[in-house]
Amino acid sequence: MENTYHIPVLLTESVDHLVHNPDGTYLDLTFGGGGHSKYLLSKLGKKGKLFSFDKDTHALGNIIDDERFTLIHHNFRYAKHFVKYAVGHKIDGILADLGISSYQINENDRGFAHRMDGPFDMRMDIDAKKSAADIVNDYTEAELLRVFRSYGEIKNAYKLTTSIINTRRNLQIQTVEDFKSTINNCIPKSESARYLSQVFQALRIEVNQELTDLEILLTDTAEILKPGGRLSVISYHSLEDRLVKNFLQTGNTEGKLEKDFFGNSITPFTSEFKKPLIPGESEINDNPRSRSAKLRIGIKK
């Protein structure tokens, strides 16, 4: 089912460099269509264990029938608590593919894609309280500016925010087309698709608190991985990749290198590769959505 739900990106690279102990315990924090999890299970021995997370209820339909596998319907920001109380020991590896699934993009009732009309939703967890419509209808000017500048790096964020505020005085923005009509005067005609992608990205990050979740996860990995354990993270835009890069290089997401009394750097990980791994030409041809992916792998000291 993963071929229709989602095509796993950098599949062999992300898993082959992750599994170093076939009888170990691993986490796949973004189960989705199950592509990465299935391949990861193929690398494990009879004693190996895989726990996968997904907060999207629709992903539960892709569950894998394997006694070594458990699917947890929860946000991966709680992985540390799960490992501490349910697993009971430190683990061997963590995989996180931070992209949204093809299923989520292609379903017009989810509101992730600007090319299809539908409810302006964008919630990965359909039970979450706050949708994209709630943000554009309820956020203050300062809050909207923060979202568009910080998460979308929108150059005309003030004009964009003003258009939204002027529209919502008379009309609630409920659908994707409502929103696109609201901001039509802000979209550069020469690069409309790119602009809309940046705006939708900013709102999606805010709705799902994606960067907050990632920061919590990265910080917690140092506590739940064994020495020699591996962290494999696939990111899709510079905001995510910067956090992962900073963490692997410095031990914190701010990128501030700390040193001990003797002047030695305090970093819990070493990077397996100096530069991130990226999809090859054949993978991009087969799956164009993989073109922005970057894989970074850290090894716990």
Q: Which residue has the tokens 């901001």?
A: 183
What are all long-range contacts of 290-293, with beta carbons under 8 Å and residues at least 24 apart? 290/7, 290/9, 290/10, 292/236, 292/237, 293/9, 293/10, 293/99, 293/234, 293/235, 293/236
Do 92 and 6 belong to one domain? yes
The Cβ-side half-sphere exposure at 225, using a 13 Å CA radius, reads: 27
Q: How confident is the model at residue 3 (pLDDT cuts 50, 70, 90)?
A: very low
Q: How confident is the model at residue 72 (pLDDT cuts 50, 70, 90)?
A: very high
Q: How confident is the model at residue 183 (pLDDT cuts 50, 70, 90)?
A: very high
Do 93 and 116 belong to one domain? no
The boundaries of the domain holding residue 236 are 2-102+210-300
Do 200 and 268 belong to one domain? no
Do 111 and 204 belong to one domain? yes
Higher-confidence residue: 197 or 4? 197
What's the CA gap between 255 and 234, in Å, rounded? 19
pTM of the prediction?
0.91
Q: Which residue has the tokens 């996860």?
A: 217
Do 262 and 113 belong to one domain? no
Dihedral angle of Cα 18, 22, 24, 28, to the nearest 10 degrees: 40
Q: How many domains are there within the chain? A: 2
Tokens linked to 25: 């315990």
Q: How far is CA 264 from CA 228, 248, 267, 273, in A?
A: 20, 16, 9, 21
Single-letter amino acid code for the residue at 210: E
